[in-house]
Amino acid sequence: MASLTVALPKGKLFGPSMALFVRLGAARLADLAESRRLLVEDPAVGLRFIAAKPVDVPVYVERGAADVGIVGRDVIEESDRDVYQPLCLSFGACRLVVAAPRGVTLAGLRLRPTLRVATKYPRLARQHFLDQGLSVEIVGLSGNVELAPRAGLADLIVDVVDTGHTLRENGLVELETVMQSQACVIVNRASHKLRLAEIARLLAALQQADAPVPAGTGAPVGLLT
């Protein structure tokens, strides 16, 4: 039977995601981390790995190019892809927030006829303000969202933060939280039905590998075997 294909997200989540599979016995992931290769086979664990941009991971999984993927919950919700989400992991914690320049308040912003919101999350941002009965103009950006208010492009931003340090350095403060996020495992719905035993075994192994390891016991090895 063909190997299960796992889509791993490039960027901040790649290292922790890779570490999980290394603990499961995967030995070929260094080829993804240390070269420009984007796909590697690892027969030792019966898996094939692809490296993709986080926003593309739900697409690969929904379309069946990958059976399983790891990506942030924020990306899953923004993409609105039809995937199964059976497991959240212990890393990648962050939050999607509304932020504005210091001195700006939500009460004051609500008096404006239209708010301009810069974000990489247009769907989530629009829905958040719609739920509050506010009309917003979404300004879609792919990066450096914190610059938008200072440059006069937007009144406020909706973006993911961890410590909030970048916001503070750019004169912004958090006004409210849209959602909490963390790394999650997603599964193609057809794969979940047709290869249920394999998927279930992989999910159980990932959950065990993600659990804290008591000091002195060593990391679990070969959980897929």
Mean pLDDT of 172-198: 97
Looking at residue 56, the DSSP 8-state letter turns out to be G
Q: What pLDDT shows up at residue 61?
A: 98
How many whole angstroms separate alpha carbon 184 and alpha carbon 189?
15
Average of per-residue pLDDT across 16-23: 95
Q: Average of pLDDT values for 174-178?
A: 95
> What would the CATH number be for the domain defined by 94-180?
3.40.190.10
pLDDT for 219 beyond 80: no
Give the CATH H-level superfamily of domain 4-92+182-210. Periplasmic binding protein-like II (3.40.190.10)
- What pLDDT does 27 receive? 86
> What pLDDT is attached to residue 108?
83
Per-residue DSSP letters for 137-194? EEEE-SS-TTHHHHTTS-SEEEEEESSSHHHHHTTEEEEEEEEEE-EEEEE-HHHHHH
- The DSSP symbol for 38 reads -
For the stretch 52-58, contacts whose Cβ atoms lie closer than 8 Å and that sit 24 or more positions apart, written own/partner, are 52/7, 52/8, 52/9, 52/10, 53/9, 53/10, 53/11, 54/9, 54/10, 54/11, 54/13, 55/79, 56/7, 57/7, 57/8, 57/9, 57/186, 58/83, 58/186
Query: Which value, in Å, is the radius of gyration of the alpha carbons in the chain?
Result: 20
CB count within 10 Å of CB 38 equals 12
Look at residue 122 in the predicted model and tell me its pLDDT: 97
Residue 62 clears pLDDT 60, i.e. is over it: yes
Domain ranges of the chain: 4-92+182-210, 94-180
Residues 203 and 86 sit within 8 Å (Cβ to Cβ): yes
**Of all residues in the chain, what percent carry a pLDDT higher than 90?**
77
- Name the pTM for this structure: 0.90
* Bridge partner list, 97: 159, 177
Tell me the C-alpha distance between 164 and 126, whole Å.
Answer: 22
**What pLDDT is stored for residue 171 in this prediction?**
93
Mean of the per-residue pLDDT values of the chain: 91
- Name the band, by pLDDT with cuts 50, 70 and 90, for residue 216: low
Indicate if 94-180 has the same CATH topology as 4-92+182-210: yes
For residue 97, give both structure tokens.
């927030």
